[in-house]
Homo-oligomer: A and B are copies of this chain.
């Protein structure tokens, strides 16, 4: 395998889906929040992405069954808002920056082919006292303020590392809109509480604005 390649399981019927990303990272907040969303919107696995920049090991489950590390794409079209949700086993090595850019580009191509124009990336941000806060950065000032008004704190003057940041930055330069939600976490272990705060805030945020956004366009 020299290049990332997709394995398609089925073709979902989606109407302007919101693209949501939650991959392993700080306090595992993004991945856990993505799992909570998956269950909540009854999303189904419809595509897998294998890549030579994911780790070169094989994962073995508790029954001894192995599989290569991958990214997973889930689709949900049951509610008013349709979703493509990305989660996965790992991210490329921090050293392999070029691979990371390439992989994020492929992911956005894929989501765009399915009609996505709006994304939410999710992750954790280290804070000494998390207090259940959710931080936000967005592709425009208007969007950042709208999300802040729903209870998030502006994440000002920093950097957002890895796919959670890079997907947002690359999507912006393609003309997408979107936001990153960061759950405050001490990051000492998998932080289910921070992930739940992000998940809860996401559903609240999408239950209103994004629905309206879709309706306005329709």
Verify B60–A158 contact, CB threshold 8 A. Answer: yes
User: Would you call A64 and B137 a contact (CB within 8 A)?
Assistant: yes
Q: Are B7 and A102 in contact (CB under 8 A)?
A: no
Chain A interface mostly: mixed
The answer to whether A53 touches B172, judged by C-beta atoms less than 8 angstroms apart, is no
Residues of the B chain whose Cβ atoms lie less than 8 Å from the Cβ of A99: 97-98
In the bound assembly, the distance between CA atoms of A84 and B152 in angstroms comes to: 41
Closest to A50 in B: B173
Please judge, given known A-B contacts A52-B102, A98-B96, A158-B60, whether A65 and B144 are in contact too, CB under 8 Å: yes
Q: How far is the CB of A7 from chain B (nearest CB, A)?
A: 7
Interface residues of A in 79-131 (CB under 8 A from B): 92-93, 95-102, 104-105
* 5 pairs from A and B in contact (CB 8 Å cutoff): A64-B137, A64-B156, A92-B97, A93-B95, A98-B99
**Distance (Å) between the CB of A189 and the closest chain B CB?**
18
CA distance A7 to B130 in the complex (A): 39
Query: Which residues of A from 112 to 165 have beta carbons under 8 Å from B?
Result: 136-141, 144, 148, 154-162, 165
Pick the residue among B63, B102, B156 that contacts A62 (CB under 8 A): B156
Chain A: interface size category? 35 or more
Chain B residues in 8 Å Cβ range of A105: 1-2
Q: Is A12 an interface residue (CB 8 A)?
A: no
**Is A33 at the interface (CB under 8 A from chain B)?**
no
What distance in Å separates the Cβ of A71 from its nearest Cβ neighbour in chain B? 14
- Contact in complex: B7, A60 (CB < 8 Å): no
B140 touches A65 (CB 8 A): yes
Partner of A160 from the list B2, B57, B62, B144 (CB cut-off 8 Å) is B57
Flag whether A55 is at the interface (Cβ < 8 A).
Answer: yes
Q: Separation in Å of the A90 CB from the closest CB of chain B?
A: 10
**Complex CA–CA separation, A159 to B59 (angstroms):** 5
Q: Which residues of B have CB within 8 Å of A2?
A: 98, 101-102, 105
Are A52's CB and B97's CB within 8 A? yes
Q: Are B102 and A60 in contact (CB under 8 A)?
A: no
